[in-house]
Amino acid sequence: MNQEAKFLEELKKAFAKPEIVALKKIGNNALHSAALENNRLLAKIALISYSLYKLSTKEHIVRNRNWNSARKAIFKNLENAFRQAREKKFLQVEKQLQLIIDNVVQTDRDMGYFLTNTFDKAKIKLASTAYAFGLSLGQAAELTGTTKEQLLEYIGNTVIHEEKLSEIGIKKRLELLRKKNRAVIE
Amino acid sequence: MRIVFDASSLISVSQTCLVRILPALKEAVNAEFVIGPVVFNEIVSRPLNIKRFQLNAVRLDTLVKQGHLTVQELDSEATAFSQKMGELANNLFFIKNKPIRIMQQGELEALALVKQLNAEAIVVDERTARTLVEKPSALNSLMGRKYRKNIKENMENSRELKKMFFDCAVLRSVELIALAFEKNALAGQIENNKRALEAALYAAKFSGCAVSFAEIQNFLRGV
């Protein structure tokens, strides 16, 4: 079975129960594979998995009387996406995934409290993980479809930049600049 | 002196509402601040259509219109340089024989522009492009730790990249803020004293500049 079908099968099972921890884990695993292979389809599966994890943990959503019908619609589209992925009809998979994304966004619009929807938050969160793993800011943003502005803002509030990759501090960098342009900078 | 900016550094500066230090700093150090068209699109054209970031885009567009920030097209040599660098960088690290695509067009364009203009410095707030230029082996170790897998480095590409990288200073927005403080260029925007400097440096960090608390604290101890 191809990777897309494998992840979609796991996702379908986890969402049916629902297994909250598994949904999050599938999202992370699919993202790692997406980052390694620059695979946008896997990135979308990761985003959907993470969004479904977030929706399933929100009490005001799971208690909403419309949640059950939204879940059924999402599950049906997940089943279709899985079947098409197994048959390697990837264009069709993409269309089905978009339907799920539309379901998620609509659910959030109808039942959520925030201006930034769960799917957009998932894009930022997963892009920050890709950045932490070594992709550039632009590459990480492109992979999940978020913006550099949102990603930078998010990253600035994490501990990602506490991990030391360079020994060159602020003072040293300014010294290097002065060496390059002594006449002007001094 | 010519200084090239990538999108991340200008976004951070704009987020911290410190864009007005750029004209003052430009004058104080007699520099030309340059961006490429892809970066212009990332910091102005695209966010102009996103309500949440429209103000940032307007601020930066004003800098361009007032001539404080110059948009420079890449010539054919620099375009080829950017493509070559992209091929090398995106085929530098492998996991299970699969290359990891790490760099994107905007970042590559900024690096190529440095080469084209023979610029003295590049300002990059994001971590990966900066590390790629300064110490690619650190990226290798980082990815190995994060993926918990063996990362294979294409040493031939690594050598070629080293040859392509140029002798320029790599700065972040925090260094620009520190330089502005030295040159009294914070004045007019905020007070030009240590408290204001500290506040501005932390604001840049929280806006996404790749700098650690320890680095800022070390620097402030010497001010």
Average of per-residue pLDDT values in chain A = 93
Interface test with B, best of A116, A124, A139 (most B CBs within 10 A): A139
Q: What is the pLDDT of residues A3-43, one digit of tens each?
A: 999 999 999 999 999 999 999 999 999 999 999 889 999 99
DSSP string, A106-142: HHHHHH---SS-HHHHHHHHHHHHHHHTT--HHHHHH
Crossing angle of helices B7-15 and A137-144, in 10° steps, is 80
User: Would you state the pLDDT for residue B113?
Assistant: 96
Q: Do B207 and A156 touch (CB under 8 A)?
A: yes
Give me B199's structure tokens. 């506040």
**Rounded to a whole number, what is the distance in Å from the CA of A93 to chain B's nearest CA?**
23
Counting as low any pLDDT under 50, the low residues of chain B are none
**Closest alpha carbon within chain B to A155:** B208
Q: What is the pLDDT of residues B144-190, one digit of tens each?
A: 999 888 899 999 999 898 888 777 899 999 999 999 999 999 887 88
Q: What averages of pLDDT result for each successive group of 10 residues across chain A (186 residues)? A: 96 95 96 92 97 93 92 96 97 97 92 83 95 96 96 96 91 92 62
Residue given tokens 């999940």 in the structure block: A144
**Rounded to a whole number, what is the distance in Å from the CA of B124 to chain A's nearest CA?**
10
Interface test with B, best of A31, A152, A180 (most B CBs within 10 A): A152
**Rounded to a whole number, what is the distance in Å from the CA of B162 to chain A's nearest CA?**
17
Q: Do A165 and B135 touch (CB under 8 A)?
A: yes
Of A166, A173, A177, nearest to B138 by CB-CB distance is A166
User: Would you state the pLDDT for residue B189?
Assistant: 84
User: Would you state the pLDDT for residue B138?
Assistant: 92
**Closest alpha carbon within chain B to A154:** B208
Strand order in the sheet with B32-35: B70-71, B32-35, B2-5, B121-123, B169-171
Say if residues B32 and B67 touch (Cβ distance below 8 Å): no
On whether any CB of chain A is under 8 Å from the CB of B166, the answer is no
On whether any CB of chain A is under 8 Å from the CB of B223, the answer is no
Q: Which residues of B touch A174 (CB under 8 A)?
A: 175, 178-179, 182
User: Would you state the pLDDT for residue A184?
Assistant: 57
Q: What's the pTM?
A: 0.92
User: Would you state the pLDDT for residue A186?
Assistant: 60
Q: Do A170 and B178 touch (CB under 8 A)?
A: yes
Residue given tokens 């769960």 in the structure block: A118
User: Would you state the pLDDT for residue A113?
Assistant: 80
**A&B contacts, CB < 8 Å:** 170
User: Would you state the pLDDT for residue A185?
Assistant: 61
Q: How far is CA B104 from CA A23, A130, B57, in A?
A: 29, 13, 21
